[in-house]
């Protein structure tokens, strides 16, 4: 595993749409491992998307304290409710804002073995899934902020 450099606001790659992963091989698993190590070695890191380390692939890692989740080609297939949340981002250090996110999301993805998984998450975990999946579309949380704090 290796620590990767996190791309910071202003880097053009953060605004680009990521490509689907066609084959989950050892290279993809290594990127996921590197992403997890990078996230764990960064202050306040609860999730990381591949564009944040300069890779335009649909890969996300999340750990909000309940264990590491590695997602390949994640997509939100259903969302419910609304919650006001406070977010920050490793690519926008020291910037925080209030925004609205779904209270509950259902996410379809592949795990690192290539098996389809469907996850139903709520609260802060739903917020984090939305935030990281937005990165795959070139959307930053600052695009959605209602008020900076």
Residue 132 among the catalytic residues? yes
Question: Comparing C-alpha atoms, which of 65, 66, 76, 90 is closest to residue 3?
Answer: 90
Q: What is the pTM of this model?
A: 0.96
For residue range 69-107, list pLDDT tens digits in order.
Answer: 999 999 999 999 999 999 999 999 999 999 999 999 999
pLDDT means over runs of 10, the chain (149 residues): 92 98 98 97 93 98 96 98 97 96 98 98 98 98 97
Catalytic residue among 12, 20, 43, 132: 132
Domains of the chain, first to last = 12-148 (3.90.45.10)
Residue 141 pLDDT: 97
Q: State yes or no: 131 annotated in a binding site.
A: yes
With a CB cutoff of 8 Å and minimum separation 6, the contacts of 131 are: 47, 87, 89, 101, 141
């Amino acid at each position: 595993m290796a620590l990767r450099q996190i791309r910071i606001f202003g880097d053009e790659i953060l605004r680009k749409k990521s490509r689907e992963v066609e084959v989950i091989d050892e290279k993809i698993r290594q990127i996921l491992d590197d992403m997890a190590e990078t996230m764990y070695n960064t202050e306040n890191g609860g999730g990381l998307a591949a564009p944040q380390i300069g890779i335009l692939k649909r890969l996300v890692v999340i750990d909000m304290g309940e264990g590491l989740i590695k997602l390949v080609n994640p997509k939100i297939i259903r969302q419910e409710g609304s919650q006001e949340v406070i977010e920050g981002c490793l690519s926008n250090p020291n910037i925080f804002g209030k925004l609205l996110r779904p209270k509950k999301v259902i996410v379809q993805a592949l795990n690192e073995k290539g098996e389809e998984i469907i996850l139903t998450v709520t609260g802060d975990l739903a917020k984090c899934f939305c935030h990281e999946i937005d990165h795959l579309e070139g959307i930053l949380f600052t695009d959605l902020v209602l008020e900076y704090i």
